[in-house]
Amino acid sequence: MPAKIHISVNGEFCDKEGNVIQLRGVNLDPSIKIPARPFLPTHTPIVDDKFFEDADKVSFINHPLILENVEEHIIRLKSLGYNTIRLPFTWESLEHAGPGQYDYDYMDYIVEVLTRINSVEQGMYVYLDPHQDVWSRFSGGSGAPLWTLYCAGFQPANFQATDAAIIHNYYIDPKTGREIGKDEESYPKMVWPTNYFKLACQTMFTLFFGGKQFAPKCIINGENIQDYLQGKFSDAIMTLYARIKDKAPELFDNNCIIGLESVNEPNCGYMGEANLDVVPKERDLKLGRTPTAFQSFMLGEGIKCTVEQYKRTFFGFTKGKPCTVNPGGKKAWLNAQERDTIDAKYNWERNPEWEPETCIWKLHGVWENNQTRGPVLLKPDYFGQVNETVFINNHFVEYYTGIYNKFRAVDKESFIFLQPPVMKLPPNLQNSKLLDDRTVCACHFYDGMTLMYKTWNKRIGIDTYGLVNKKYSNPAFAVVLGENNIRKCIRKQLAEMQKDAKSALGQKVPVFFTEIGIPFDMDDKKAYTTNDYSSQIGALDALGFALEGNNLSYTLWCYCSINSHEWGDNWNNEDFSIWSPDDKPLYRENRSKTPTRAPSPTSTTDSVSTSKSKSSSSSQPPSFIQLESNLDLDSPSCSLETDLSGYRALDAIMRPFPIKIYGTFEFAEFNLHNRTYVLKLVGKTGTTAVPTHIFLPRHHFALEHLSIRSSSGHYTYNADYQVLEWFHEPGHQYIEIRLKSKYRCSTAGSDDSNDLPAECVIS
């Protein structure tokens, strides 16, 4: 079983002896965003009201994985050397039938998925992620059940007419099952600005985090809607967590489950908007119809508005032709009859002041529809008193306090992953009781240029983190030129995110990138017909370069078991999966074979020892592979079985890395072009009988052609696990591993093309 993970005094993951451990893996998997029965991807057309009427009857069982296929997928992930899984689940999957009505069958299915993951040899580390995007799939995202929108008084069936949210299902032709059109208007691109700044999403997040301050009239069953929603959400999460502990305690005893994340990508809603009558200047990302907050309020009440539209160009997001949106008499809010029916169904009693068919923000005096003057904005700065820092350190911390206390009441040993808003500073919790020695800071990073333009631009890049956090007096200063500088800029951004997080939470808190990745449908999906993944390799290699240079643990977004070239990850045309069943036929047969097992541990054939004196500087390739039966592989880094079929951009995602360092980390870098790996560390004082373990994949390093140079020590290699053991001396040490020059074959601009020399093919 995997070793228990601890946190060092320097805020690094380590084993009980203090040896530094690096965690890397994937999010498994985004299929949890959509129901499995009936199967409702975002390309399922909405043809009648049953999409909403039957929302309480869905089941998510078999998402993320069909039980019979769990081992197959885990073996495939372990073939990359991965040892960690972020397991997302949604609030909707647990409580879709109504508040307090839990889907225990789904919870038991999750227990079985985890049990099967744990049963694979050497196991995997797993942490749980209560996932959401843009609040709910009924507001164009994923996460919360439909009844939460009814709770706020919304009528989601009218979101399309009132532009309160864009739901891709409306843009699919029921007859053909295809997109109605390819242009922005007929089939809008679903990127974060599309829905995060619409009425439904912004209102729900404002109510969830700030209802008591900004919507005091929204009382339901004697509670403000903020407390009601937060309480139901955290209760659902902890019901699942407690059920796992009760039904499968071995998952915790065996160190399979290592913790729980607070919530995926919290959002401040309207809080912080200084003027509701304008689109904030600092909102750099604008795409498609972009109403002001006030215009959203009016549209929600059925009032026709002309709103700005933005389109994406090479030079960024530019203003296009305005668009008039006419709700046609529909409102985004439940009328009296609809609300009475809903309230009776869910046993809700509302504050008498909470009028039906009325915008919540009109109810609270933010605006009015004057009989003489028409719509009038009365309090343009209603939400302006709360800026970003206040939101994170007060409203978000209030939520975090609730989930933290409930989690620690059930589990005092596992990690809690505190996730602040994306690319923002976490709350300053130093000297707070909320910060314990099992706290991890969860960060997300996506390169802005790669994400928005879906290509790997080798000429122009942007310091996304610096731009988001206003570290430049002029946005032009955030531009970087040239591929090498872009790669260095990404590495610098991750280093700054780590530094900023530790400045708020303290040096003892590890920083873990729980989401990082790239879209695979780059360059108009060219790779799916040419099998040329050079753009994807370049972008992923840049992320790998940045992560390993900062010794950062991470879980890539994502691995999707039902990915397809046509529909990507089956949700809003996202296509981030590093694996696809559609890519399996492209995998050459000689690469798909399971590597030959090592000789019996009792065999000593061709086993000798190599060593390198500290004073020597010459390159000394090993003339052997020593196979040992008693390797101390505490970290579940590899599997005896391997399967690399179906991976895209395999060159970039399969990388050498230090599984466990006998000492502390200084520096690491994998040069994909030169097939060279360098690791620098500070070895512990004491015995040299304990090695540093390095995952060294045969995919990049054909063993018979290796050249290894190190400052001291000797090495052994376990062929089953593809793990190099380096027995080094104390103090500053380095090891350089490379293929001899005549055997280097692939570059960051190619993806294992069919003309590779035989020596570079897994045998």
Show which residues are catalytic: 515
Q: How far apart are CA 749 and CA 89, in angstroms?
A: 36
Q: How far apart are CA 224 and CA 354, in angstroms?
A: 12
Q: Other CB atoms closer than 10 Å to residue 173's CB: what's the count?
A: 11
Tell me, rounded to whole angstroms, the distance of Cα 195 from its chain centroid.
18
Q: Are 117 and 111 in contact, with CB atoms under 8 Å apart? A: no
The first and second tokens of residue 176, run together, are: 């053909």
Tokens 């899984």 identify what position? Answer: 85
Q: How far apart are CA 272 and CA 280, in angstroms?
A: 10
Question: Do strands 219-220 and 415-418 pair parallel, antiparallel, or not at all (unpaired)?
Answer: unpaired
List all residues 6 or more positions away from 476 whose beta carbon is below 8 Å from its beta carbon. none
What is the layout of strands, in order, in the sheet containing 657-661?
A: 6-7, 13-14, 20-21, 657-661, 692-695, 723-727, 714-718
Question: Do strands 692-695 and 723-727 pair parallel, antiparallel, or not at all (unpaired)?
Answer: antiparallel
Question: Do strands 24-28 and 84-90 pair parallel, antiparallel, or not at all (unpaired)?
Answer: parallel
Tokens 């539209």 identify what position? Answer: 309
Q: How far apart are CA 616 and CA 712, in angstroms?
A: 9
Backbone angles phi, psi at 525, to 5 degrees: 65, 25
Q: Are 132 and 265 in contact, with CB atoms under 8 Å apart? A: yes
The first and second tokens of residue 353, run together, are: 């002041």
The continuous run of DSSP H or E covering 375 comes out as strand 374-377
Q: How far apart are CA 127 and CA 28, in angstroms?
A: 11
Q: Are 672 and 541 in contact, with CB atoms under 8 Å apart? A: yes
Q: Is 347 exposed, middle or buried (0-12, 13-18, 19+ CB in 10 A)?
A: exposed
